[in-house]
Amino acid sequence: MEYYCTIFAAIESPYEEGLLWTGSDDGLVHVSKDGGENWENVTPKNMPEWIMINSIEADPFTKGGAYIAATSYKNGDYQPYLYKTKDYGKSWTKIVNGIQNDHFTRVVRADPERKGLLYAGTETEMYVSFDDGASWKNFQLNLPIVPITDLTIKDNHLIAATQGRGFWLIDDLTVLHQLSDVVTQNDHYLFQPKKTYRIGGRSVESKTAGENMPSGVITYFHLKDTASADTVKIHYKEKSGKVIATFSTHPDKKAKEEKLTVEPGSNQLIWNMRYPDAEVFDGMILWWSSTSGLTALPGKYDVELSVNGESQTQEFEIVKDPRSSATQEDLKAQFDFQNEVIAKLSETNLAIKDIRKARVQIEDVMKKQKLIPLKIWGKAF
């Protein structure tokens, strides 16, 4: 680190063939449009001298666009330095509005799914911008106060490398992709769930290791307040309209609705992708077997949010486990067979419940018969 005039950051644009960017630890930015045959010095003119270019990011939506993060703390300057260009570095715009003045910047990344959505890691906190860097908001959440040395996005997950506190990950960025003024202005809003793999298993909490993402369809919805939302329901449906599962703040047990707990602001519900369980009866012995319902097949489904009778629907998709060799036809045949088994099991168990009800009724009648005095010729016996 004592040697300067060294290339410290370099990228090949994944969006434009032959476009290369480099940044050095003595404050120079160069670009090549022909795979490195020729280079041009495009250092921002208003950037401090001897600053270190810490990261470079290609703009996913603008040809010739890029972002750079630079640090000058070695010179006693702890200010943030982020810049963007839309014209191969001919002109640069400083984009640090909203970042605290002593939070020097180490990395900036652009979300490939939403134009203008940026993430910045500083020496102290995380920041997010929804307007291409025109303004930044704190995005610390539960992240410890620690230097964020690098960021990357993989399968809609944001991964942060820290200096001394390990790796941190936000599992699902789809909510950020859909955030808008419409969400905050409406009394309630349902976000479209991301694609969900048809995989079982469960998460295990640990004091020494990270947690896996929950299994199932992760559904986010926003409620401005709960005082006026007397009845909130979420239905998961087949594309035909058939309801598979229902969660309600006032569940109907006869309809096999499950309890839904809500609070003002952001809410999360995880559906395990299963149809209703088979009927059971008290005292049933299973010996490691199960009466769990069928797992939904890969395909497209709908989720509906209903608040006091007003509804909003979003489509989502369940996709096949990529490790499975089973075809869609194989899974459908398995689904149909299991459906027949569950139907017959429910029929059998309902019959047992009916027999038990009949037995109770017979015993009740017999008890009442014993209480009725028998009279012969007007004399009670």
98-153 tens-digit pLDDT: 999 999 999 999 999 999 999 999 999 999 999 999 999 999 999 999 999 999 99
pLDDT score of 362 more than 60: yes
Rg (CA), the chain: 31
Q: How confident is the model at residue 381 (pLDDT cuts 50, 70, 90)?
A: very low
Task: Tell me which CATH homologous superfamily contains domain 188-204+211-381.
Answer: Macroglobulin (MG2) domain (2.60.40.1930)
Q: How confident is the model at residue 305 (pLDDT cuts 50, 70, 90)?
A: very high
Location of each CATH 2.60.40.1930 domain in the chain:
188-204+211-381
Q: CB under 8 Å to 238, separation ≥6 — which residues?
A: 244, 301, 302
Structure confidence by residue, pLDDT tens digits, 21-56: 999 999 999 999 999 999 999 999 999 999 999 999
pTM (two decimals): 0.84
Write down the pLDDT at residue 228: 77
Report the percent of the chain where pLDDT is more than 90.
72
Architecture of the domain delimited by 1-179: 7 Propeller (2.130)
Whether 345 and 281 have beta carbons less than 8 Å apart is answered as no
Location of each CATH 2.130.10.10 domain in the chain:
1-179
* C-alpha distance from residue 90 to each of 40, 45, 87, 159, 223 (Å): 10, 10, 6, 31, 46
pLDDT score of 329 more than 50: yes
